[in-house]
Amino acid sequence: MDFANVWHSINWATVLFVVEFAVKVAAVGIVPEKRHPSTAQAWLLLILVIPIVGVPLYLMLGSPYVRGRRHAVQEQATIAFAEATDRWPLIPEGVEVEEHFAQVVQMNRSLTNLPASTGRCRGVYSEYGESFRAMTAAVERAEHTVHVEFYAQAWDDETDAFFSALVAAAERGVLVRVLADHLGSAKYGSLRTIRRRMTAAGAQFHTMLPISPLQGRFRRPDLRNHRKILTIDGREGFVGSQNLIGRHYGSRRNARVGREWVDVMMHVSGEVVDALDAIFATDWLSESGKVIDNVLERLEEYKVRPVGGEINAFQVVPSGPGYPGEPSMRMFTQLINNAMTSVRLVSPYFIPNEAFLEAMKSAVLRGVDVELLVPRKADQFAVHHAQQSYFRELLEAGIRIYRFPQPKVLHAKLMLVDDRYTYFGSSNMDIRSFMLNFEVSVLTFAGDAAELLGGVIDSYEEVSTVLTLEQWMERPLIGRYFDNVFRLTSALQ
């Protein structure tokens, strides 16, 4: 027997055992810091059971916060927002709200330093083509600036008129700035075309959160800038859930089977556009290193407008890794906690944290009517099953679940509370949107926006089916298994 080889093998086995043990002990003391208990438990489960997989993933994906220059830019911008809007009132003058709702507005302002303001709701678009036509017409009216910030962008048959309008605007001297999420847009194949044609026309183009290791630009690869913002001349804008891509998302198979995305966008004007431009300017500075003039000056000019009808009160609420206080999650949860009569939720990806889930269940116990509207089948396998893992708990709590029919993909994000207070925007109601994605949410109250968005929810429910607990308990065991498996992964943030 070769004792030297045996001893060598024993030594290596001992070293590996000691290293693995040390890593596990270290993880128990490091991972839980400043994390939700469920998130920490999920990471620890992965690290302790499969360390060879868990440790590299944690090192790559474990931190939900941005560092370095982006972090500094966000901090400076937040301070600048506070200084520019210091004299703005908590609630726009002439608007009356309950004290508990005013506290939500105050919380949002404390977390983001953006106050509530007024603005005109110039239209709500829930039909894909109608939204593009309205945005294209607005760009064609542009005289000075156009700011475009969308997660997914593709120059295709359905977006051709819009991008052509951008090119024409740039060629006639309008300052056109375009931001597109790098990974969110690159997978659709025309990002380089958009960049080339925009820059050739004189527009300025940058990718958001780019991964370019050869250029020294690398960050956590699953961070996304998921915002959807269009502003024109600082006077009017669009915000909501729709991306700059055709309704079939570049898939011939989707078109063949009738699989198309269903979204909602709002056309606004007034002071709310200043807040949207402030968010754009922050992202533009992060990606280009250039400052957009006059944005802060516009925020300083508080204007008093009578609220009612088309004039609404708005509060723009940005969120993402630059906001460790998780503004969107806190806003959603507090709105549900404050509900008196009804809560209506629409989300394509519904994976709540504990606080959000308990708020919904507690609302039912207080006698509040709570509805959740989700797609019959989400467009992502893991998300679909993770979302379904909550259905039994929700149904047993007395929450009514509507499922939007296939083959269409419900992609709108909406919340309507007591038929008065409304959220719309880019943020889903899941842990990823709360912590990892850069999102823009808009809270609106007073005026006609709540009625218009409530009508959109009504139209979704009219074509949806109600899921009962009895139906849900009859689903196959294999489906339950996948639901439970992917529920574990939902907290790995």
Predicted pLDDT of residue 19: 63
Residue with token string 């005026």: 447
d(CA 160, CA 245): 9
Predicted pLDDT of residue 493: 45
Residue type, 380: Q
Among 3.90.1150.10, 3.30.360.10, 3.40.50.300, 3.30.870.10, name the CATH number for the domain at 68-100+115-315. 3.30.870.10
Q: 136-140: long-range contacts at Cβ-Cβ below 8 A with a sequence spacing of 24 or more?
A: 136/161, 136/162, 136/165, 138/230, 138/232, 138/236, 138/238, 138/267, 139/165, 139/166, 139/169, 139/230, 139/232, 140/165, 140/168, 140/169
Secondary structure tally for the chain: helices H, strands E: 20, 20
**Is residue 171 within 8 Å of 140, Cβ to Cβ?**
no
Beta partners for residue 121, in sequence order: 268
Q: What is the mean pLDDT of each run of 10 residues along the chain (493 residues)?
A: 55 66 64 60 63 60 61 85 90 88 96 93 96 98 98 97 98 98 93 96 95 64 90 97 97 94 96 95 94 88 75 93 90 97 96 94 98 91 89 97 96 97 95 89 93 97 97 89 79 52
d(CA 437, CA 25): 31
**Is residue 264 within 8 Å of 242, Cβ to Cβ?**
yes
Structure tokens at 205: 């183009």
d(CA 383, CA 244): 23
**Is residue 249 within 8 Å of 261, Cβ to Cβ?**
yes
CATH topology of domain 327-489: Endonuclease; Chain A (3.30.870)
Work out the angle at residue 349's Cα, subtended by the Cα atoms of residues 359 and 73, and round it to the nearest 5 degrees: 85
d(CA 93, CA 76): 28
Structure tokens at 237: 């804008």
Q: Residues 6-35: pLDDT tens digits?
A: 545 556 667 666 666 666 666 666 666 555
Domain boundaries along the sequence of the chain: 3-61, 68-100+115-315, 327-489
**Is residue 156 within 8 Å of 247, Cβ to Cβ?**
no
**Is residue 438 within 8 Å of 425, Cβ to Cβ?**
no
Predicted pLDDT of residue 63: 57
Predicted pLDDT of residue 480: 85
Domains 68-100+115-315 and 327-489 share a fold: yes
**Is residue 250 within 8 Å of 155, Cβ to Cβ?**
no
Q: Look at residue 126 and give its three-state secondary structure.
A: coil
Q: Closest Cα partner for 440 from 228, 208, 222?
A: 228
Predicted pLDDT of residue 57: 58
Cα–Cα distances (Å) from 45 to 24, 63, 112, 383, in that order, read 10, 17, 34, 20
- Which ranges of 142-244 would DSSP assign to H, the alpha helix? 160-171, 182-186, 191-200
Q: How far is CA 183 from the centre of its chain?
A: 15
Strands (E), 195-287: 204-208, 224-225, 228-232, 236-240, 261-262, 265-269
